[in-house]
Copies of this chain bind each other. A is one copy, B any other.
Amino acid sequence: MYYVGIDLGGTSIKAGLVDEGGRILQKATCPTKVERGAKPVVDDMARLSLKVIEMGGVSLDKVKAVGIGLPGILDPRTGHVPFCTNLFWHDVPVIEWMRETIDKPIFIENDATVAGLAESVAGVSAGVKNSVFLTLGTGVGGGIVLGGRIYSGSHGVGSELGHMITVAGGEQCTCGNRGCWERYSSATALIRMGTEAAKKNPKSLIMTSVKGDTAEITARTVIDAAKAGDPDALKVFDEYVYNICVGLVGIINFIDPEMIVLGGGVSLAGDFLLNAVRAKLPEMVFYKTMPFATVELATLGNDAGIIGAAMLGRD
């Protein structure tokens, strides 16, 4: 059987025809154009689904299901997507609308959960029973796989790992609380910390590499400066790695996964980040002489969204 996976983002809709093993056979994409509202976006998702099926030369009865990963959640009470902040969606009946065009089971999950599932089917955590996937991006998202299956909790409101509070009373978060983990471990946090350091010492490589324009500082600016050995950037990076480990320790001491997978933009820092996290973590976990989760980098990159969404319909 075949599966369609859709990765719905704020910029583009990506669809793929995927086989049982999580391999993408065909891909198609179109711009999201959020401003047109939800219905045309959902119609485009259905249209792209049919398109990739046709491109693959597969008959419709060989397609088991369509899965959608989106930056929001599904309310199991209504079958609607109640929140999708980036898309300005509120209470959208995605499944109903999809099925106006394509008569297949439709599955919906949060994008980070979907990416975690992809890694656990066809990526670094393939075959791992219990894993936690993290997207270190603008925010921090999480995907939990327990017993080889997506774990989405009792009400579908879990795996929002970026909103564990790690610094009570700390930085204001968009969610209303102070001190959420993502305020300290996201790309946004790294940029904030790097910018502060650059302003304190304009001679730092962070500042000189953007020619004094702090608005140009990205996560990569800070990481590249740290890689080059700039003392200010290294200090920021060390603190950032500690911030990441603070949350990882919570994850380990809580559900003790076999593997934690780092994905999202910041994970492109590669071994430089991975080795630093791996070096810091052992001194911070509770049982210091017992084995605990290995930390790995995500391997599927941008394809994770399509693959994971497709795999929603497999199990």
- For residue A80, give the distance in angstroms from its CB to the closest CB of chain B: 11
Give A220-255 as 1s and 0s: 1 = Cβ < 8 Å from B's Cβ atoms. 000000000000000000000011001101111111
Which A residues are closer than 8 A to B by beta carbons?
73, 75, 77, 82-83, 129-130, 142, 144, 146-147, 151-161, 163-170, 175-177, 179, 184, 242-243, 246-247, 249-258, 283-293
Whether B160 contacts A253 by the Cβ 8 Å rule is yes
Knowing A168-B243, A243-B168, A290-B75, the reply to whether A158 touches B254 (Cβ < 8 A) is yes
What 5 A-B pairs come out closest when comparing CB atoms? Answer: A153-B256, A158-B256, A164-B250, A154-B258, A160-B253
Whether B163 contacts A166 by the Cβ 8 Å rule is no
Please give, as numbers and ranges, the residues of chain B lying within 8 Å of A256 by CB-CB distance.
152-159
Whether A165 contacts B290 by the Cβ 8 Å rule is no
Whether B255 contacts A177 by the Cβ 8 Å rule is no
- For residue A73, give the distance in angstroms from its CB to the closest CB of chain B: 7
Whether B163 contacts A255 by the Cβ 8 Å rule is no
Whether B153 contacts A130 by the Cβ 8 Å rule is yes
Please give, as numbers and ranges, the residues of chain B lying within 8 Å of A184 by CB-CB distance.
168
Whether A254 contacts B152 by the Cβ 8 Å rule is no
Whether B175 contacts A254 by the Cβ 8 Å rule is no
Please give, as numbers and ranges, the residues of chain B lying within 8 Å of A160 by CB-CB distance.
253-254, 286-287
